Amino acid sequence: MITPETDACYLIALCSGEERRWRYLGQDARGATWWRDLETELEFSESSLMYAWTVVERLG
């Protein structure tokens, strides 16, 4: 399993087979883990995701 590093970009595989590129933003003061989709620029917490996904590899 890959442990993400803050401000690094990762290739993500969604359960649908789609691949996305996300930047790991780290945890906030409450312990929620945040990401930014590099295509849409939307930020979201892991707890808000409604589908299965996995980190494939670190980019760059």
pTM: predicted TM-score of the whole model, two decimal places:
0.91
Domain spans, the chain: 9-58
Residue 48 has phi, psi (to 5 degrees) of: -90, -10
Instruction: Report whether pLDDT(15) > 90.
Output: yes
pLDDT value for 32:
96
pLDDT digits (tens, 9 = 90+) for 18-56: 999 999 999 999 999 999 999 999 999 999 998 899 999
